[in-house]
Amino acid sequence: MVGESAGAGLAGTLLVRAREQNLPMPAAGVLFSPYADLTLSGASMTTKIAVDPSFTPDAIAVRAKDYTGAADPADPLISPVFANLRGLPPLLIQAGSNELLLDDAVRLAARAAADDVPVTLEVTPGVPHLFQAFAPMLDEGEAALSRVTAFLHAAFTLPPRARTTARPHPDNVEPNG
């Protein structure tokens, strides 16, 4: 499963929901610059204002409100940085150091690691949000996509038993009686 920006946040929540429903997991997930915290509480929302050419905090706040409506933006199925990620497949998370969403990526990777999900976080210095899209003209983008290719190749060539499979979420397990 691959997603970018808001789509990466959606991919993260889709993986969580699929796990909750005991559905088969994909071999891996790749999340480019995930928009994974719609509470907008990451420090980079303020510390990266001067270097992010793509967004402003106000613009992100408008889109967050469009998405959440009256729902709680801290709901784990809205903001996967607050979700239990245990049982998800291996994740590759990439972000640029010059983006407001940097802390979404860093915190999502930390949450995955804390929940025993194999995770690789790559933060590329000096590049903006979704720098991979500029691979034809940006060496860092080309290099990042090459690493994605290697990550996915490894994930798809693992023996089936070595892949992460869905494990029942603790809230979905009924006691034996």
Question: Which residues belong to the active site?
Answer: 5, 99, 129
Q: What CA–CA distance (Å, rounded) separates 150 from 147?
A: 5
Q: Name the strands in the sheet holding 91-96, side by side, starting at the edge strand that comes first in the sequence.
A: 2-4, 29-32, 91-96, 119-124
Entry field: residues in the chain: 177
Three-class DSSP labels, 42-75:
CCHHHHCCCCCCCCCHHHHHHHHHHHHCCCCCCC
DSSP assignment of 29-45 equals: EEEES----TT---THH
Give me 27's structure tokens.
């071999």
Q: Is 99 exposed, middle or buried (0-12, 13-18, 19+ CB in 10 A)?
A: buried
Residues 90 and 77: their CA atoms lie apart, in Å, by 19
Give kind and range of the element (H or E) at residue 19: helix 6-20
What residues form DSSP beta bridges with 2?
Answer: 30
